[in-house]
Structure 1
């Protein structure tokens, strides 16, 4: 997925503003298993996924809890870093070899102050991230496991071919045995 396509999915920028973002973006490649963002560290970059799959997770008493998957076109950032300039609480792991677009927060913030269109891109980015979090919370808290599975299958069907089932089960808040049972019922 091109950076231009990703930006247009967030907020359509005028040509000059879009070029400004493209000029500060750096294409990066990382191998499967790489931890892109680490909990309890300050990360001053955001990423857009050109190609690949990632997951966000945190450690808990029972082990790792996966709470987000990103595929092509998704934004990777710690909202705590981005909004409050505080250390992140999540880890971002690459589940396959990935190609990413990297943007430094400091450079981006400079353009937020000088280009209203880029500032609006930042606002829309934060709004979209907030809506994703809200949907995840509502889905996880209000829907039964089978409906959570069906929603994930409907919204991100390719995950089931690209992501280990243990991470999907963790994301759904169920055991791998329960996930297997739900999948057999389909």
Structure 2
């Protein structure tokens, strides 16, 4: 009888395991608010959402990052400094390489494209080098000035890859490139790529 009970308990245990929901697949990790470049007021971060942000997902790379298998988190401070991290897991490593190339091309050509789309706007894109983290990360900037409104804005961007996973990071605020925390943003980018897995 004891053998029967032991066998029955084992069978029930196996059945329970079989019916249990499968563990969710591991997802790439995201930057925390405190890992953004230091600001005079603290950063806050949203939860991580599925897909990409509205309006195509990313300044200078709209509709370049597929919503499928992508997630994002937005960041902001009280002084209108803001940012976003978008991460996507490509189907293959070759697809991830292609996505990085697409994003880099979009970032490099963003200034001239914005000037063509917005007569009177002054927009300059610049490349600020490659970082030696995982399969690499590339840093860019976009410096814009609208003489009609009197606004100047500066954005920093990075695209990094770890295997099949690509992450896009943006930081932005009013001001010029000289006002941007480029060294701190490079550190943020390195952290973002290292944290993915």
**TM-score under structure 2 normalisation?**
0.28
Q: Which has the larger radius of gyration?
A: 2
Could you say which structure has the higher helix fraction?
A: 1
Higher relative contact order (CA 8 A, sep 6+): 1
